[in-house]
Structure 1
Amino acid sequence: MTENSSSNQVSPLSFVIRLPGSPIGPDLSKHFLINKNHKEYDIFSNSKGHHNHLIHHYLAAYAFGASKERLQTIFDDHASHQRPLRDPIGTITFETYQSELGNRDAYTSYLIFFQKDIKKHGIIGAIRRGVLQNMDMLARTLSGIFHPLIHLGYAIEFDLPNVAAEGLAMAACEDNALAAFLVDKDTQADGHDNMNGNQTIETILTNMKWDPIFDDIVKFGDEYFSMGIFTNEKVISIIREYAAQWHYKDPQSSVRELYTQVMLLCASTGIHGQQTKMDFFLMHCLTSIHAAHTLLAHLTSDEAEKLLRAHLVETLLFYLRCGRPNLNVEALQNFKPTTAVATCVQGENNDNLWLGVIQQSLGVKEPHYIKVVRALALGQILYHDVFEDDLWLKAAQVAFNVVETQSMKEGEQWWDYGGIGFEQGWN
């Protein structure tokens, strides 16, 4: 990194997964295809605000040892539907920084601004100034279904200043609806003790599951309208109360708790008899907690708490959005992949079943799956002792079961958008 860390720094396990095999690297800062994406393509692939996933998929595959040919294929597949980088709409300075917040047309202008800021203050310094000292920008960084945060995670993991500028510029162009849910302890007269509760995340989710106050807020069939929970005053008040119940301990133990619960939310909620699904939004909670973990090694204790509490808030919102499904740990423990999927992910050598999962993730065209596998693999290495069974591997097998079986059905989507917590969605 280009900036020394604060003396008040926490030291969570800063482990990253990097497998041999790729002929590229290790210095990616001057890599042709990464720079080509940076110079030629917008971060938003269309006018609706869909995100450019090229770098995510490319770097995830690189980290798993993808061949040069596979990396080129990934690049070409994504590049085929990206928008060209547009001209700046004007010059943004520190004084005019807020003038175009939330405007996706200003992406290039913000990109130039953050490139200059990173050159002056370093990647971490720019993130600290642009995100962690500004609750409005923190909200925007977790907006867009966590994509700016995920982008910043890749920038830090691979030490790519231009990718960091992309992530910060993307955040500046997102909405700040999450800000209404966040509490900044630095501005609270009562200080930290007033906002630190005594409940675990598991207890909070259980209480939300059975709280009748949520029964009429999101209903089955509302998939295109349920994002309105972000601006619902009733939801804002209730979710703030639930989030404040979390007993935050310290960065290492708290990210461990959040990472583990997010894995269960993503993987155990979508097993229904012989059917498997994964909620699109809960899946992003998982890939983004991987990114948050990557950031933690560079943050102060207060900054780490601010980031993890904000992540929990959005996770609770997405749990509400998909119908408050059951966390079915027993179903995950007993999960058996379909015969075809089991053959793919286990391979001929069963000494390490992760090898089959990782190998298959490299060949899957869908860009989110490999990120899910990376997040789960990291979780298995760091937090394998949380469960007696290897639930992290089971979760990866569930994800592949979803991607593989759905890809066999013409016209089907890989991820579920309709609300896996609603019984009607399984009929």
Structure 2
Amino acid sequence: MNSFPVQPLKPGLVNLPGATPASAALVVDLLRRDFKAHHCFFNDKFYHDHLSHHILALHDLGAPTEHIPAMYDTEAAIQRPLHPDETHKANRITQQNWTGSLGEEHAAMYPDYLVFFSLEIVKDGVTSVLERYVFSPEANGNGSLMLARFLGGVLHPIMQAAFGQDFVVAQGLACAAVTNPEGASMMDIASGLPEIKSGPPTTLLALLRKVHKSPKLTPMTYDKNGADGDLTRVVEWFNADPNAALQSAKFTPKDFNKKVEECMWQATLLFGATGKSGRKPRMDFFLLHLLTGGLSVRVVLDALKQPLHKAQLLQAYACSAAMVTLFRGRPRIDPAIAMSHSALPQPSAALSNTKSTFGKAGGGSPWLAVLNNAAIHEEVHVIKAVRALLYYAQQYGPTPPGTVIGIVDGGGNETHNGGAKVDGTLFIRVAGVLTDALGWITHGDQRGAWEYGGIGWEETWSNAHD
């Protein structure tokens, strides 16, 4: 576990001012503590350790040095020890047997996989290890399905691996090894690797419209026997249509940045533009992970060298997004919902005592209040979601209405009603409604909660609560 030399902290994606040499050194120390001390699951329900995500998101957004240790201590208190039963033995995982203990039923093997992938990265480097153990045919055939596992667990393994430091990548790969490959069912091929076809590109928003309109995808009733049974039904539901959306997706080695951009717009719309007009906004916990997972795809894509592997990653993410969307009841994008939220978010008048001669929102960036609130919010997903939305705004904020990739088809028709009005203010609008729902903690607001809503079938969305 001491294989990795101490590395300087790599720059984050957002990289806001505020970080100092002292805070960077502190973050590296805390990340290594998490690496050496904690399992990737903190309970028997396979809930994930978010500690490193939270630390790196805080640092990327410029949090002061004094704030980071307190957050670490709060979350470390709920984590499971890396060796909970003290039965760990060295070198149980080797290049010859590493595919023999994959999946959640082997969660106790996480420490062994962590040692294995750590040694492999020290020896060969991150890119080579990703290509060999995630994207090679050997890593995906015969039920190994490592690419699907890498994006399984609602994308947590890839999110872990996408935080840059080599030993954190090892954590992500070890987490993938003890994760079930749910998304492989959506790929529907024995190799576990998506088939990359040539031909004219199809946009993700156009594919999502097909998912909404497919006559074979009829509404279902929530199966109270549990999520596992429902997931099986979802896969059957999707695969009932041989012409289902992702079966016809086409990726080429060119212009991967545009495909990443599509992923980010679609994820933001699925998270922030679903529900029902006039009803309380739904901040769906599972769609949230498509939002933060899109940021992870950006990082891992840059770490890969082979165009084929880049295309396979994008296709696998699209499959995962389709699976989560179906699993949550096929929520329909209504761009008017997202664009109806304020582009100048602020706490309600009952909470805010801010006064300004320049107007209620003051004269600074509307992101400042949202970022400050996210930095002290104890719900671990809030800062990650806000960080993702800020990054998307940095990249695509100047986008004018009607120019979002895929929002208008080749014939000039909207792929989703009202979509032509979507512009680069989408991201701050969604960040604002997220903050409203989860609480303006900086102003004494009560902490809110994510929407779980059972499995969230179609009637859940159409009957969204007041």
TM interval, shorter chain, is: 0.7 to 0.9
Aligned to 1:22: 19
- Return closer, same or farther for 1:378/1:352 CA change in 2, 3 Å cut-off: same
Which amino acid in structure 1 is aligned with residue 181 of structure 2? Answer: N
Aligned to 1:127: 130
Which amino acid in structure 2 is aligned with residue 328 of structure 1? Answer: D
Aligned to 2:314: 308
Structure with the greater alpha carbon radius of gyration: 2
Aligned to 2:268: 263
Which piece of structure 1 moves more, 136-145 or 379-388? 379-388
Residue 284 (structure 2) pairs with residue 245 (structure 1): no
Which amino acid in structure 2 is aligned with residue 359 of structure 1? Answer: N
Residue 93 (structure 2) pairs with residue 92 (structure 1): yes
Aligned to 1:41: 38
Aligned to 2:296: 291
Aligned to 2:451: 415
Q: Distance in 2 between matches of 1:71 and 1:148?
A: 23
- Return closer, same or farther for 1:268/1:238 CA change in 2, 3 Å cut-off: same
Pairs within 5 Å for 1:302-341: 302-336=308-342, 339=348
Which amino acid in structure 1 is aligned with residue 107 of structure 2? Answer: R
Q: How many residues align?
A: 408
Q: Distance in 1 between matches of 2:340 and 2:464?
A: 22
Deviations 1:261-291 (A, max 9, x none): 1110011114642511211111101101100
- Return closer, same or farther for 1:187/1:25 CA change in 2, 3 Å cut-off: same
Shift of 1:234: 4.5
Q: Distance in 2 between matches of 1:77 and 1:118?
A: 30
Task: Give the one of 373, 384, 393 matched to 1:380.
Answer: 393
Residue 180 (structure 2) pairs with residue 151 (structure 1): no
Aligned to 2:425: 390
Q: Is the 8 A contact 1:89 1:105 kept in 2?
A: no
Which piece of structure 1 moves more, 237-246 or 171-180? 237-246
Q: Distance in 2 between matches of 1:395 and 1:420?
A: 23
Shift of 1:68: 2.0
- Return closer, same or farther for 1:401/1:329 CA change in 2, 3 Å cut-off: same
TM-score, length basis structure 1: 0.85
Task: Give the one of 202, 206, 223 matched to 1:199.
Answer: 202
Which amino acid in structure 2 is aligned with residue 177 of structure 1? Answer: E
Which piece of structure 1 moves more, 366-375 or 220-229? 220-229
Which amino acid in structure 2 is aligned with residue 380 of structure 1? Answer: A
Q: Is the 8 A contact 1:89 1:106 kept in 2?
A: no
Q: Is the 8 A contact 2:216 2:240 kept in 1?
A: no
Which piece of structure 1 moves more, 36-45 or 225-234? 225-234
Residue 51 (structure 2) pairs with residue 54 (structure 1): yes
Q: Distance in 1 between matches of 2:464 and 2:186?
A: 29
What secondary structure sits across from 1:273 in the alignment? coil
Superposed CA RMSD: 3.3
Aligned to 1:172: 177
**Relative contact order: is structure 1 or structure 2 higher (C-alpha 8 Å, sep ≥ 6)?**
1
Q: Distance in 2 between matches of 1:113 and 1:253?
A: 35
Q: Is the 8 A contact 1:44 1:83 kept in 2?
A: yes
Residue 149 (structure 2) pairs with residue 140 (structure 1): yes
Which piece of structure 1 moves more, 211-220 or 71-80? 211-220
Q: Is the 8 A contact 1:218 1:321 kept in 2?
A: no
Shift of 1:389: 5.0
What secondary structure sits across from 1:426 in the alignment? coil
Q: Distance in 2 between matches of 1:60 and 1:187?
A: 32
Shift of 1:349: 3.5
What secondary structure sits across from 1:357 in the alignment? helix
Aligned to 1:79: 76
Identity of aligned residues (%): 26
Q: Distance in 2 between matches of 1:138 and 1:356?
A: 38
Task: Give the one of 371, 384, 403 matched to 1:371.
Answer: 384
Which piece of structure 1 moves more, 290-299 or 29-38? 29-38
- Return closer, same or farther for 1:107/1:347 CA change in 2, 3 Å cut-off: farther
Task: Give the one of 427, 434, 437 matched to 1:402.
Answer: 437
What secondary structure sits across from 1:171 in the alignment? helix
Q: Is the 8 A contact 2:201 2:249 kept in 1?
A: yes
Which amino acid in structure 2 is aligned with residue 325 of structure 1? Answer: P
Q: Is the 8 A contact 2:12 2:60 kept in 1?
A: no
Q: Distance in 1 between matches of 2:12 and 2:113?
A: 31
Which piece of structure 1 moves more, 163-172 or 62-71? 62-71
- Return closer, same or farther for 1:291/1:240 CA change in 2, 3 Å cut-off: farther
Q: Distance in 2 between matches of 1:270 and 1:207?
A: 19
- Return closer, same or farther for 1:123/1:187 CA change in 2, 3 Å cut-off: closer
- Return closer, same or farther for 1:389/1:130 CA change in 2, 3 Å cut-off: closer
Q: Is the 8 A contact 2:15 2:62 kept in 1?
A: yes
- Return closer, same or farther for 1:226/1:260 CA change in 2, 3 Å cut-off: farther
Pairs within 5 Å for 1:163-242: 163-182=168-187, 192-193=196-197, 199-217=202-220, 219=222, 224=227, 227-229=230-232, 232-236=235-239, 238=241, 241-242=244-245
Deviations 1:138-159 (A, max 9, x none): 11011111000000111x2xxx
Which amino acid in structure 2 is aligned with residue 148 of structure 1? Answer: P
Unpaired runs of 5+ residues, structure 1, are 3-13
Q: Distance in 1 between matches of 2:56 and 2:360?
A: 25
Q: Distance in 2 between matches of 1:118 and 1:263?
A: 33
Which piece of structure 1 moves more, 327-336 or 400-409? 400-409
Shift of 1:390: 0.6
Unpaired runs of 5+ residues, structure 2, are 5-10, 405-421
Q: Hey, which of these two has a bigger chunk of helix by percent?
A: 1
